[in-house]
């Protein structure tokens, strides 16, 4: 959510940003919110004047009574009553207008960083850099679930009976490899100086609307029936929510946290072959990182964060590339976003395994995450990034470490989490 003062003073810049996001249907909202804001401030000014007059006259009543000017005192009481009635109406109007302004402001997209390429959708995202040499073996690489099934590592049929499509049982060494990836990602981030955290796996609606747009909420979140609780789609939601309505000391920044959690997502719509198996599912586990920083430091942290994901994958010899998300592919709260994609020898192309986002002060403004510094109070900047989401990382690991006989080489950093084992066969 952008600053209402910024919108008030820079309506053309906000409209231009909406155009860059290819959301022209939202252009009228800028003028609408300006008109509502004018009415709201006018009501507030009248209310403030009435309060001052009411307080001034109220103080006179006692004096008038003491002077036995009873008629004047009663007239003053009547005037105070009149002011109070008008104030009640104005306060109701203020609240109504403020709610309308807030509702609209939460649908107007955040101002994107000037460096973001303008494009309509993900087909216009821009490749930035490649790390590692993509390799295609001279033997056929099976589909990832076929690799797992040959190693007795996955049971999709039982999962469908128990929970439906989009779920799985991981078994044996494949399940162990999954846990090894999570443990390694956790320790990798702790070594980078991040504090490890296991957060709540459910959050209230006030946190949900603070960390994402309404469109994302509808597409992703599972609601607990009869309660004001949602299953998290990613741990960044409850991790950012940890700081709701807080006043942080500037000296305590940056706050750097890495978290483990299961994640739950609706994943609406039909998906092609490449998004079946364990690629796009309703439940998975993930190691995440978040940073709460000063505004002037957020872009430095943004670049550090995505580079950590690249470093993690390269430590396991998985080739990756970074992709800059164009304006039309950015969620409404994001200022800038870079995806990390891993190489798939089977598909002979890259696929997304992580996403790093700088949200500026949008989430902090919604959640009330403020900082007290030498120059006053201000809203913090929030950032998040995927360290590792093992289901997709498993695909990358299996395909890039597959031997011709169907066995899997275990990358060196994972072996200590696998009891010293260096191969799965």
Is residue 103 within 8 A of residue 40, CB to CB? The reply is: no
Whose tokens are 């109220």? That residue is 58
pLDDT at position 270: 46
Is residue 250 within 8 A of residue 406, CB to CB? The reply is: no
Helix H or strand E segment including 274 = none
Task: Give, as one character, the DSSP assignment of residue 257.
Answer: E
Cis peptide before 19 (omega within 30 of 0): no
pLDDT at position 79: 81
Is 1.10.287.40 the CATH number for 4-105?
yes
> Which residue from 381, 419, 352 is spatially nearest to 172, judged by alpha carbons?
419
Segments in 106-246 forming alpha helices (H): 144-150, 156-162, 172-191, 205-211, 214-220, 235-241
pLDDT at position 276: 62
> Which residue from 293, 288, 285 is spatially nearest to 385, judged by alpha carbons?
288
pLDDT tens across the length of the chain (425 residues): 889 999 999 999 999 999 999 999 999 999 999 999 999 999 888 888 888 888 888 778 777 777 777 777 778 788 878 888 888 888 888 889 989 999 999 999 999 999 999 999 999 999 999 999 999 999 999 999 999 999 999 999 999 999 988 899 999 999 999 999 999 999 999 999 999 999 999 999 999 989 987 777 777 889 999 999 999 999 999 999 999 999 999 999 999 999 999 999 987 654 454 446 778 889 999 999 999 999 999 999 999 999 999 999 999 999 999 999 999 999 999 999 999 999 999 999 999 999 999 999 999 999 999 999 998 999 999 999 999 998 899 999 999 999 999 999 999 999 999 999 999 99
pLDDT at position 268: 63
**Rounded distance between C-alpha atoms, residue 397 and residue 325, angstroms:** 25
Orientation of helix 27-66 relative to helix 70-105, angle to 10°? 160
| Helix/strand/coil for 111 | coil
- 248-262 burial code (b ≥16 CB/10 A, e <16): beeeebbbbbbbbbe
Residues near 87 by beta carbon (within 8 Å), at least 6 away in sequence: 47, 50, 51, 54
Helix H or strand E segment including 319 = none
pLDDT at position 131: 98
- Tokens of residue 22, six digits: 């290819």
**Rounded distance between C-alpha atoms, residue 312 and residue 295, angstroms:** 27
Whose tokens are 């670049």? That residue is 303
**Rounded distance between C-alpha atoms, residue 322 and residue 320, angstroms:** 7
Q: Is 212 left (phi over 0), alpha (psi -120 to 50) or beta?
A: beta
Is residue 350 within 8 A of residue 343, CB to CB? The reply is: yes
pLDDT at position 275: 47
The domain locations on the chain are 4-105, 122-424
CATH class of 122-424: alpha beta
**Rounded distance between C-alpha atoms, residue 19 and residue 25, angstroms:** 9
Compute the 3-state secondary structure of the chain and give helix, strand, coil in percent, each to the nearest 5: 50, 20, 30
| Helix/strand/coil for 255 | strand
pLDDT at position 70: 78
| Helix/strand/coil for 374 | coil
Residues near 14 by beta carbon (within 8 Å), at least 6 away in sequence: 2, 6, 7, 30, 108, 111
**Rounded distance between C-alpha atoms, residue 271 and residue 275, angstroms:** 6
Is residue 290 within 8 A of residue 257, CB to CB? The reply is: yes
**Rounded distance between C-alpha atoms, residue 401 and residue 423, angstroms:** 10
pLDDT at position 166: 87
């Amino acid at each position: 959510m952008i600053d209402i003062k910024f919108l008030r003073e820079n309506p053309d810049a906000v409209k231009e940003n909406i155009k860059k996001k290819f959301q022209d249907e939202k252009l009228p909202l800028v003028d609408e919110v300006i008109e509502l804001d004018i009415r709201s401030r006018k009501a507030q000014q009248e209310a403030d004047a009435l309060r001052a007059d009411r307080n001034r006259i109220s103080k006179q009543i006692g004096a008038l009574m003491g002077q036995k000017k009873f008629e004047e005192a009663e007239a003053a009481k009547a005037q105070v009553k009149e002011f109070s009635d008008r104030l009640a109406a104005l306060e109701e109007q203020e609240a109504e207008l403020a709610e309308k302004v807030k509702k609209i402001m939460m649908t107007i997209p955040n101002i994107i960083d000037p460096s973001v390429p303008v494009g309509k959708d993900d087909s216009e995202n821009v490749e930035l850099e490649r790390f590692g040499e993509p390799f295609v073996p001279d033997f056929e690489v099976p589909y990832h679930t076929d690799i797992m099934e040959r190693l007795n590592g996955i049971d999709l049929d039982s999962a469908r009976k128990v929970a439906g499509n989009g779920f799985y049982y991981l078994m044996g060494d494949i399940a162990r490899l999954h846990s090894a990836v999570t443990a390694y990602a956790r320790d990798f981030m702790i070594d980078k100086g991040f504090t490890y955290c296991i957060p709540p796996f459910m959050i209230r609606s006030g946190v949900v609307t603070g960390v994402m747009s309404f469109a994302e909420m509808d597409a992703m979140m599972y609601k607990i029936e009869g309660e004001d609780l949602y299953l998290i789609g990613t741990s960044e939601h409850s991790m950012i929510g940890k700081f709701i309505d807080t006043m942080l000391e500037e000296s305590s920044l940056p706050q750097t946290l890495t978290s483990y959690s299961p994640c739950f997502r609706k994943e609406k719509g039909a998906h092609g072959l490449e998004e079946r198996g364990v690629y796009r599912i309703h439940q998975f586990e993930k190691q995440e990182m978040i940073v709460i920083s000063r505004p002037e430091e957020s872009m430095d942290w943004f670049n550090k964060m995505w580079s950590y994901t690249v470093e993690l994958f390269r430590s396991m010899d998985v080739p990756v590339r970074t992709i800059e998300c164009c304006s039309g592919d950015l969620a409404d709260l994001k200022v800038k976003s870079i995806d990390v994609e891993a190489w798939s020898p089977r598909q002979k192309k890259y696929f997304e395994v992580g996403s790093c986002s700088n949200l500026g002060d949008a989430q902090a403004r919604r959640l009330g995450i403020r900082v007290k510094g030498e120059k006053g109070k201000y809203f913090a900047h929030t950032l998040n990034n995927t360290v590792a989401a093992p289901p997709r990382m498993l695909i990358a690991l299996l395909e890039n470490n597959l031997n011709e006989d169907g066995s899997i080489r275990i990358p060196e950093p994972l072996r200590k989490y696998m009891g010293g084992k260096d191969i799965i066969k």
